[in-house]
Chain A
């Protein structure tokens, strides 16, 4: 799929799930009935319930595992393609970013803190154990979005306030909640590291333009693979043999390298991928990478409207 199609597919998926979970009341995400005894459940909800009830309900555990399985396969697609709160933050990004630009700089919390959410996860589980109930669920912005946006919403009164409150964190940084605080994301991140389907960027030809990092709302650094490639022992050996150890740092030099060297670099780059724990599989980096899109362009796949007639 081409980057633009991927983007359309993702937005479509977010809309469908938003309507399903938040508006049409097929259920809430917390536990969607799949018919009979089978549910598609929020794994964090299941964990809290299990801890709260101090017993394992096999049905619930299996339900929670469905999402974990999906994460092991595709990474945190839940966060990028399904989660209605995540969709909200994506859709409201532009107006919220404008508020951010107006704010004085220097957010109190480091906007890219990636460890804190594991602490939150621990806290949530502890609370569930102590209070013997899924306490977090009452303020969970994901659940609240589902529960309060639809027809039932009226019943929930104060709870409705959670969503705008947490949304306002977006003025600190995009996807602030997801990146820094969300315990569901933290739980999925544990498994996303081992995802089977990986995202790859053209690290050998990487221009070091930083567009991918800028495109990534999760504060991931997709181009880290390029850094890894530079100091890969086989690569270094070949580059020093060739006489240009810093070839991967110098603009345009990969293009001029002899074919066997390029093949070696490409092969090494092919074994590296974008790190999984933070990645929500939104493919923004893939869409942003000029190298990838230029390669698409060589085969005539990308529009040529910007060509200069000089």
Chain B
């Protein structure tokens, strides 16, 4: 071992726990992501690093990135853990076990009190007062203490950095879905739209398909859309079934319930009509929603059920936002989205297409005419690379390309297509280009294979369709005479690890440049919000989003924001959840009361109602169109579960949700 090497021990949620010799200049992130091989479970991200064992502290971001100076023992915590519970266990340990830990009367008292309070915060006994008291105990410090009150350190450093997670517990929510006492079921707790998944599964098992869909749509008006597009659904992260094999394939069951309901009711539209989802008694208040994406429409759905008159404005002729103009038809049948939007319109929501905020109507006008305004403008603008040749014809932003295909069903792409980007949007673009006849499609991204932001299933599907993935590479310039004809590309050297395990920023190795020939280049490196027409409205914005310092309320009174334009959510279900929360915030603003919507179906049934599969059954596999065939059409790739697979999948649910009937 060289002189300057530093011994770091890495434990916890990493691939390869062990003791490593870190070189001079390496930091804790290198120890975690390079030496110890990164996180043990790719579904989670890095949450915290506890330095120095049970009496150590949680490293702050700058400490993680600073070069190591002395040997360290790191305990790695991923986002699957609840920090409150984690600290609770450390306290239980420090309080009773720690051999030789003397401490002083002050810190021993604080440890005992803290252990009790932390235990309370993980159960329904929790209260806001517990948190206040906990903070007081965490602040106990006695310079004369022989152990420097070190037993309290994990709590003090956790409160410094993640106070909001403790506050959520005090309000009865555990974001990691670990503190089981606080929730109906882990899946329900984790679903951003708060879908009662055990209930919908139980109703489906009982053959009450329309009820199942109604229960799903009670919380998520895009329940069936989510059945197609919920990717890596949050509800599956801490599913109890993971104890045995794999999480319940929830979204496929949404879809199954929808298909059965449509068949039973004689049409999707009819299947979505249900007694439990009705317009509320008229309040006489009017709300304008700008943006008819999932966030705006979900908000409209809940506002209408609360009795308010809602008008939704959208600059596009058709509503649906990215569900209509972004997500390709082979993943989401347009009929499903249209039916769910029609069901929202049936609640009395008026949708005005072709009316852009900032162009056809101003924010101040909306504020005058309506009692409240919700901005749900999405992230409608593609980011650009800022390299030479990007303005050549044939270099197309991803969203423009997808939109053209959604509108006309066609686009001229030529034989060879380069897609720049490694996320799900890039995969969608590449697979769409392939379906439009491109023979040679290359996806180029700066990440390495295992770091790509696109979900593994999508990457696999793209490769099955013959798409080439070029990793650790970037284009430096595009060239062509009147139209793009080639790209100068090069390999990159990844940058240092950030807290999410990404290596950023990448450094292009210019000398390794190579010319490649392409007929079309599509840029899919991310989206951002368009503020056109909002500049002089007085609305406060951060660099990329509309600022919502207080939940969903913006800097202007009576103006709220939700969806992708208020923070990068990048998924339909999160946009729905955000729109839903904004709807209740608006209702509180309008009526002054914290109202709720109830459904007689909600929290009544759990999966424990029926039998479950005792045998260790694997998760159902989704039947798919053959790759060789599907590249020639836009029909859904995933064919949906058949009866026997769906039945077996539902039997896999072992969780006896709290709301289940006894």
What is the interface of chain A, defined by CB distance below 8 A to chain B? 97, 101, 173-174, 205, 207-211, 213-215, 217, 230-231, 233, 236-237, 239-240, 242-246, 249-252, 254-255, 288, 290-291, 293-294, 296-297, 302-308, 310
Contact = CB atoms under 8 A, between A and B. Distances in A.
Contacts of B17: 243
B541 interface: no
A211 B660 CA distance: 10
A65 B178 CA distance: 46
B655 interface: yes
Interface string B82-123: 100110011011001100000000000000000000000000
A90 B658 CA distance: 22
Interface in B60-83: 75-76, 80-82
B618 A249 contact: no
B662 A173 contact: yes
Contacts of B80: 250
Contact of B615 (A174, A205, A242, A307): A307
Contact of A214 (B244, B606, B651): B606
Nearest to A304: B615
B589 interface: no
Given A209-B656, A242-B11, A250-B80, A230 B89 contact: yes
Given A214-B662, A307-B615, 12 more contacts: A174-B662, A207-B654, A210-B655, A213-B656, A233-B97, A236-B92, A236-B97, A245-B93, A246-B89, A251-B242, A294-B614, A304-B615
Q: Quick one: which of B75, B178, B651, B656 has the most chain A CB within 10 A? A: B656
B621 interface: yes
Report the 3 A-B pairs with minimum CB-CB distance, sorted nearest first. A243-B11, A306-B613, A251-B242
Nearest to A206: B243
B171 interface: no
B238 interface: yes
Contact of A290 (B12, B76, B239, B244): B244
A209 B608 CA distance: 10
A188 to B, nearest CB: 23
A250 B79 CA distance: 11
B615 A297 contact: yes
A233 B95 CA distance: 10
A129 B89 CA distance: 51
Q: Quick one: which of A213, A217, A239, A294 has the most chain B CB within 10 A? A: A294
Nearest to B177: A251
Contact of A308 (B13, B96, B617): B617
Nearest to A305: B615
Contacts of A302: 614-615
Nearest to B651: A306
Interface size class of B (residues with CB under 8 A): 35 or more
A297 B614 CA distance: 7
B648 interface: yes
Nearest to A231: B92
B238 A251 contact: yes
Interface string B638-662: 0000000100110100111110111
Contacts of B443: none
B81 A246 contact: yes
B620 interface: yes
Given A236-B93, A243-B11, A249 B85 contact: yes
Nearest to A296: B614
B92 A294 contact: no
A19 to B, nearest CB: 28
Q: Quick one: which of A211, A236, A246, A304 has the most chain B CB within 10 A? A: A246
Contacts, number: 137
A94 to B, nearest CB: 11
A208 B53 CA distance: 27
Contact of B617 (A215, A249, A307): A307
A240 B53 contact: yes
Nearest to B660: A214
A285 to B, nearest CB: 11
A305 B90 CA distance: 44
B244 to A, nearest CB: 6
Contact of A310 (B239, B244, B616, B621): B621
Given A297-B614, A306-B615, A310-B621, A240 B243 contact: no
B234 to A, nearest CB: 14
A246 B545 CA distance: 36
A310 B90 CA distance: 43
Given A97-B661, A97-B662, A213-B656, A251 B239 contact: yes
Contacts of B658: 210
B158 interface: no
B240 interface: yes
A251 B238 CA distance: 6
Contact of B97 (A237, A243, A305): A237
A252 B242 contact: yes
Nearest to B14: A243
Contacts of A244: 11-13
Given A291-B243, A307-B615, A308-B648, A237 B93 contact: yes
B559 interface: no
B154 to A, nearest CB: 10
Nearest to B119: A231
Nearest to B247: A251
Contacts of A303: 614-615
Given A208-B180, A246-B81, A308-B617, A240 B90 contact: yes
Contacts of A251: 238-243
B634 interface: no
B54 interface: yes
Interface string B162-183: 0000000000000000101000
A101 B605 CA distance: 11
Contacts of B649: 308
A282 to B, nearest CB: 14
Contacts of A209: 240, 243, 654-656
Contacts of B662: 97, 173-174, 214, 217
A96 B615 CA distance: 32
Nearest to A239: B89
A214 B656 contact: yes
